[in-house]
Structure 1
Amino acid sequence: MPRARTPSPDPGGDLLDTDRSALRPLAERMRPCTIEEMVGQRRLVSPGSALRQSIETGAVHSMVLWGPPGCGKTTLALLLARYADADFRSVSAVLSGLPEVRQVLAEAGHRFAEGRRTVLFVDEVHRFNKAQQDAFLPHIERGTIVFVGATTENPSFELNSALLSRCRVHVMEAVSAEDIQSALQRALEDSERGLGGRGLRIADEQLLLIASAADGDVRRGLTLLEIAAELVGEGGTITTDVLDQVLADRTRRFDKGGEQFYDQISALHKSVRSSNPDAALYWLARMLDGGCDPVYLARRLTRMAVEDIGLADPRALQMSIDAWDTYERLGSPEGELALAQVVLYLASTAKSNAAYVAFKAARRDVAEYGTQEVPMHLRNAPTKLMKQLGYSKGYQYDHDSEGGVALDQTGFPDAMGERTYYQPVERGLELKLKEKLDGLRAARAGRRRPARGGKEPG
C-alpha cells in the first residue's frame, strides 16, 4: 500500500496567513487542515476507504462532489491539494466567465510544464453552460489539472456526459447535528484559530441547539456560534436567551427549483399515494417552511386528486380545488390550513389510478390506429342528405332499451372492435362502478358472440 503523505501547509497561497486570520470568519479559520479534522462524511473518507487512501497517498483523481451546502466540498478539495502538494486554484461558476476560466487553465498549463500539478476547484459547476464545461475536457485528459467540481444539483441532469465520463462522482451527505456539535466544540477549544482564548461558557444542550439549527451545514453552525460569541463578549455565557436571538427566523435547507425541491415534492406525493397522512403533512410543512409557493403546492395536490385518488373518491378533486380557491382568498398563513386539510384527506381516502391508466391506454390506441372513421350509427344526421347517406342508421337510443343500455351497439371504430381501458379498483366508489361495469361488459360480450367460424373483434 502506498505510504501516506504529509499534507502541504498551504497550497492555496495565504490560507494560514496569521496577519489576516483574525479578519476571516470563524468558519473559514476553522476549516480542517487534515483529513482527521473533517467531520461527517464517514462513508466517504473513513479510514481505509478508497477516497481516503487516494487523498493520503496524493494519488488524486478528477471528481465531482455532489452534496448540500456546508457538507465539506470546498474543504475536501483543499485537502486534495494539500496532500498532493499541488497548487490550489478555484473559480466560481456564478462569478467567473469563460475568459477567466481560460486564464486559470493557461496558468495551470505553465505549472504542469514545470512539473507541478494544479487542483482546480470549480464551485457551483452546474451553473456553467455546455461550452464552459467543455473547456475543461482537454486539460483533464492531459492531466494539466485535477478537476474538482462542486454541485448541489444532480450531476446526471446538470453536467455534460463528456465531463462526467472523465470524473468520478462522490456523493456527500448533510452533516449530522452530533458531528456539527463536535466541530463547534473544537472551535471553542482552539485558541489559535477558534474561540479558545475568549473564556466563553456554553452548556452542551445549548451547543447541540446550535448544531441542530445549522441543519446539516457546518459552516452555518460555526457562523451561528460566532454571532453568539460576539453578543456575549469575552468571558460571557451563551444562554438559551442569547440563542433565542441568534436563532430567530432561521430557515431550513430548501432550494426552489433545485434537487431538494424535487426530492421533497416527490416525498409529499408518494406519502399521499401511500395513505400516510402524517408523513404527507410533514412534507407539506417542510416545503412551506422552506418558502415553496403555496399555489404550486395547491396545483400539485389537485394533480394528486386526479392521478392517485381518481374515481375512488370524486370528492377529492373538488376538495383540492376548494382548498386552492381558499388559499387564493385568504393567503398565508391562514390559507395554508386549507392545504393541510386537503393533504390529510387525500392521504386518508381510497386510492385509484384506474382513470389515469385508462386514459394513457386510450391515447396509445389513438396514436396506433390513427384517424379512424366514426361508425355510421354514431354519426349525427341533422339533414335529409345525411340520412340518405346512412348517417345515424341503426343507432339504438339507450333510454328506450331494456335497462337503459343498448348492449348490441359498439362505441368504437369498426377497425378497432371493442376495447377495455378502464378497470376500476375494488376500493371506494370504484367498487360500485366495477360491479356495474363488469355486468355490462359481460352482457355486451354475450351479445357480440360471433357466428360459427367468425372472429370476435378486439
Structure 2
Amino acid sequence: MNMPLAERMRPRTLEDYISQKHLIGTNGPISMMLKNDLIASMIFWGPPGTGKTTLAQLVAELSGRPFYTLSAINAGVKDVRDVIEKAKDQNLFSGGRNPILFIDEIHRFNKSQQDSLLGAVEKGWVTLIGATTENPSFEVVPALLSRTQVYSINSLDREDLEELIRRALIKDEYLSQKSVQIQEANALIRYSGGDARKLLNGLELVINSFSEDEEIIITDEIVTSRIQQNLARYDKTGEQHYDIISAFIKSIRGSDPNGAVYWLARMIEGGEDLKFIARRLLISASEDVGNANPTAMILANNTFQAVSVIGYPESRILLSQCAIYLANSPKSNSTYMAINKAQQAVKQTGDLSVPLHLRNAPTKLMKQMDYGKEYKYSHDYDNNFTYQEYLPDELQNATFYEPGDNKREQQDKFVLNQKWRGKYGY
C-alpha cells in the first residue's frame, strides 16, 4: 500500500480518537461546541503526531461545515486570500455555517500572513482552526490570538500508544492479514516520543522489514536495529535537537561551510523553528567570529530580521547564506573571553568604587565632593585620546581583552599598544 499506516489509521469518528479527553469528553469544550453547533475559532497547541489535524477534520465533518486547509510551510498571503474568497462564496450557500479554514504550522506564518486572516475571522467569513507545535503566546500575533481559543493537545501516554498498536494490528486492512507477535513494545514507544504518527509508521517499517517467509516477532532489539537502519531522524524537542544544533555551530566555528549547510539542511527538513536557527547564527557571529569580522554580526542580525518577516520556504536560502558566510569568516572569541574574565573579576572583587574622576556630577554637592574632577574629555585631545585610568584602583593594569590572532585584531593590538604605552601588555 502506498498510503502510510498512520494515514490509514486516521480516526473517522470521535470514538476512534484516542486521548485528549479533556477536549472531547462528555463536557469537554470541543464536544460542547459540536453539541451546540457553535464552533469557535481556535488554535490547537501540542507536540507533533498528537492528532491536531485529525481533530480539526473531525470538527468540520461532524459539524457539517466546508473544510479548507493550508500549510504555513508553503502558503503565502495570496494563498490565504484566495481561500478566504472561496470560503466567503461557500458561506453564502451553507446557511450561515461558516466554513472552517485549517492552517497547519500556523506559527510559521509571518506577521503579514497572520494579519491577512484577521478580517475574515472577525467578520465570520471563516472559522479558523490553527495547529502549532510552538507556544502561541510567542508565535501568534496578539490581534489573532485574542480572536481564538487556545487548547493544549497532550502527548499520548503509554496506554494510548499501546492501544494504537493493538488497533492497527486488528483493524488495518493490510496488517490484519499478517501474523504479528509483539513480544516487546518498549523500543517502539520510546522511539515514538508520544507521537502517534511516528509510532504507527515505525511499526509499519519494522513489520515490512521482515521477508515473506519470516515469522514476525517484534522485540526491542529488532525495533532498534531496523529503525536506525532506515530512518535519519530529527527530533526537534529531544536529544537530537541539541546534538544537531551543536554540530551546526561547531561546523561554523571550525570554518567548514559544507558541514554547516548539511546540519542546517537537517534542521530545515526536520521542521526546526527558523528563528531558533537564526538566533544561534547571531550568537555565533559574536562568539566565534567577533571582531575578526564585525560585519558578520550585521549580516546575522539582518538574517534574523528577514527570517522573522519572510518565513518558509525562502528563508532556507537566507539561513544558508549566513551560515556559509560565518563559516568562511576569520574566527575570534576574544570578546567572548573578555566578558568572561571581566565577570570573574567582578565576582572575586565585589562592588569596587568608581574612581572619582569617572563619577557623574549632576549636583553642586557632588561637584564639591570632587565627583568628575580631573576627568579628561577625550575629544579635547589629539586623535580623540588621552591617557587616563578607567579601572578601579584595585584593578589597574588588569587585562580582560586579548586581541585575537587575526589581521584585523592584530591591527587593533598595534594601535592599543601605542595608545596605552604597553599598560595592558599589548
Q: 1:381 to 1:55 in 2, by over 3 A?
A: closer
Question: Which has the larger Rg?
Answer: 1
Which amino acid in the other structure matches residue 132 of structure 2?
T
CA contact (8 A) 1:215 1:253 kept: no
How does 1:209-228 map onto structure 2 within 5 Å?
209-228=187-206
Alpha-carbon separation, structure 1, partners of 2:155 and 2:121: 29
2:418 corresponds to which residue? none
Q: 1:99 to 1:370 in 2, by over 3 A?
A: farther
1:376 corresponds to which residue? 370
Match of 1:61 among 26, 36, 40: 40
Which amino acid in the other structure matches residue 148 of structure 1?
I
Alpha-carbon separation, structure 1, partners of 2:49 and 2:195: 4
Secondary structure of 1:156 counterpart: helix
Which amino acid in the other structure matches residue 291 of structure 1?
I
1:118 corresponds to which residue? 99
Alpha-carbon separation, structure 1, partners of 2:119 and 2:13: 31
2:210 corresponds to which residue? 232
How does 1:162-173 map onto structure 2 within 5 Å?
162-173=143-154
CA contact (8 A) 1:27 1:219 kept: yes
Alpha-carbon separation, structure 1, partners of 2:171 and 2:118: 42
Q: 1:377 to 1:228 in 2, by over 3 A?
A: closer
1:293 and 2:246 matched: yes
Provide structure 2 residue ranges, at least 5 long, that are not aligned to the other structure.
Answer: 251-286, 289-345, 377-392, 395-426
Post-superposition shift, 1:378?
8.7
TM-score, length of structure 2 as denominator length: 0.56
Alpha-carbon separation, structure 2, partners of 1:374 and 1:91: 71
1:34 and 2:13 matched: yes
Q: 1:108 to 1:367 in 2, by over 3 A?
A: farther
1:49 and 2:28 matched: yes
Post-superposition shift, 1:148?
0.5
Provide structure 1 residue ranges, at least 5 long, that are not aligned to the other structure.
Answer: 1-21, 262-285, 298-323, 326-353, 383-396, 399-458
2:125 corresponds to which residue? 144
Post-superposition shift, 1:209?
2.5
Match of 1:243 among 215, 218, 223: 223
Post-superposition shift, 1:369?
8.0
Q: 1:370 to 1:134 in 2, by over 3 A?
A: farther
Q: 1:200 to 1:127 in 2, by over 3 A?
A: same
Count, aligned residues: 275
1:134 corresponds to which residue? 115
Alpha-carbon separation, structure 1, partners of 2:61 and 2:190: 31
Secondary structure of 1:166 counterpart: coil
How does 1:206-355 map onto structure 2 within 5 Å?
207-233=185-211, 236-240=215-219, 241-248=221-228, 254-255=235-236, 260=237, 286=239, 290-293=243-246
| 1:375-416 deviation digits (Å, cap 9, x = unpaired) | 53996699xxxxxxxxxxxxxx99xxxxxxxxxxxxxxxxxx
CA contact (8 A) 1:58 1:83 kept: no
CA contact (8 A) 1:211 1:221 kept: yes
Secondary structure of 2:151 counterpart: strand
Q: 1:381 to 1:126 in 2, by over 3 A?
A: closer
Alpha-carbon separation, structure 1, partners of 2:201 and 2:154: 20
Q: 1:377 to 1:79 in 2, by over 3 A?
A: closer
2:179 corresponds to which residue? 199
1:84 corresponds to which residue? 63
How does 1:353-364 map onto structure 2 within 5 Å?
none
Alpha-carbon separation, structure 1, partners of 2:37 and 2:27: 15
User: How high is the sequence identity, in percent, across the aligned residues?
Assistant: 32
Identify which range, 176-185 or 89-98, moves more after superposition: 176-185
Q: 1:127 to 1:373 in 2, by over 3 A?
A: farther
Post-superposition shift, 1:83?
0.8
Alpha-carbon separation, structure 2, partners of 1:368 and 1:90: 61
Post-superposition shift, 1:97?
1.2
Which amino acid in the other structure matches residue 54 of structure 1?
M
Post-superposition shift, 1:126?
1.2
Post-superposition shift, 1:355?
5.7
TM-score, length of structure 1 as denominator length: 0.52
| 1:105-129 deviation digits (Å, cap 9, x = unpaired) | 1111111011254211101111112
Alpha-carbon separation, structure 1, partners of 2:18 and 2:68: 23
Q: 1:254 to 1:224 in 2, by over 3 A?
A: closer
Match of 1:158 among 107, 131, 139: 139
Alpha-carbon separation, structure 1, partners of 2:35 and 2:205: 35
Q: 1:370 to 1:88 in 2, by over 3 A?
A: farther
Match of 2:162 among 177, 181, 201: 181
CA contact (8 A) 1:215 1:252 kept: no
CA contact (8 A) 1:58 1:85 kept: no
Alpha-carbon separation, structure 1, partners of 2:245 and 2:51: 26
| 1:408-445 deviation digits (Å, cap 9, x = unpaired) | xxxxxxxxxxxxxxxxxxxxxxxxxxxxxxxxxxxxxx
